[in-house]
Each structure stands twice: as structure tokens, then as C-alpha cells.
């Protein structure tokens, strides 16, 4: 039984790491791609790309903050349940 619990914990941790990485990278990439497309399509200056990158970083920071709060709640609930069993 302990082996199954460890496997589950490792798989869950790998999922958390993957989600964290995607939450960091995806908004920056999407904002940059859209900004470059807008720059080329509408003949805008390079400032559009810079603003988009800053916006993407801000959204990434918010996503990471929300994700960390969610994981802390989840871990806090488990620790609380483990203490009850003792």
C-alpha cells in the first residue's frame, strides 16, 4: 500500500510541476504571437510586442499566484486530515 501512495504522490507532483510550467510560458507566448501578428497586419510599431510581453508576464504571475494558493489549500487539507488520524 505505501508504494501505491508514493506513486500517486510522485505522479501528482509531476502534474503540478507541468501545470506550473505551462502556466508560466503559455500567456507570454500567446501574447507575443498575437502582438507580432497585429504588428505585421496593422503596421504597428515594436511597442506593441513590448506591451504584450509585459501583459503576458503579468498574467503568468497571476496564474502562478492562483496555482500556489490552490496547492497550499490542497496540501493544508491533507496535513489536517493526517493529523486527525493520529
Tell me how far CA of residue 27 lies from CA of 11, 39, 74, in angstroms.
25, 18, 25
CA distances from 24 to 49, 58, 62 (A): 18, 10, 9
Output the pLDDT for position 3: 77
Nearest to 62 by CA among 27, 34, 16, 14: 27
31 and 52 in contact (C-beta within 8 Å)? yes
- The pLDDT tens digits along the chain (86 residues) read 567 888 888 888 898 899 889 989 999 999 999 999 999 999 989 999 999 999 999 999 999 999 999 888 888 865 544 555 54
Q: Where are the domains of the chain?
A: 2-85
Cell numbers placing 48: 506593441
Amino acid at each position: 500500500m505505501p508504494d501505491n501512495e508514493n506513486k500517486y504522490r510522485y505522479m501528482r507532483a509531476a502534474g503540478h510541476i507541468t501545470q506550473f510550467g505551462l502556466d508560466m510560458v503559455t500567456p507570454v507566448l500567446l501574447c507575443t504571437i498575437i502582438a507580432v501578428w497585429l504588428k505585421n497586419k496593422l503596421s504597428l510599431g515594436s511597442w506593441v510586442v513590448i506591451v504584450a510581453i509585459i501583459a503576458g508576464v503579468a498574467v503568468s504571475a497571476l496564474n502562478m499566484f492562483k496555482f500556489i494558493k490552490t496547492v497550499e489549500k490542497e496540501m493544508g487539507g491533507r496535513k489536517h486530515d493526517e493529523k486527525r488520524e493520529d
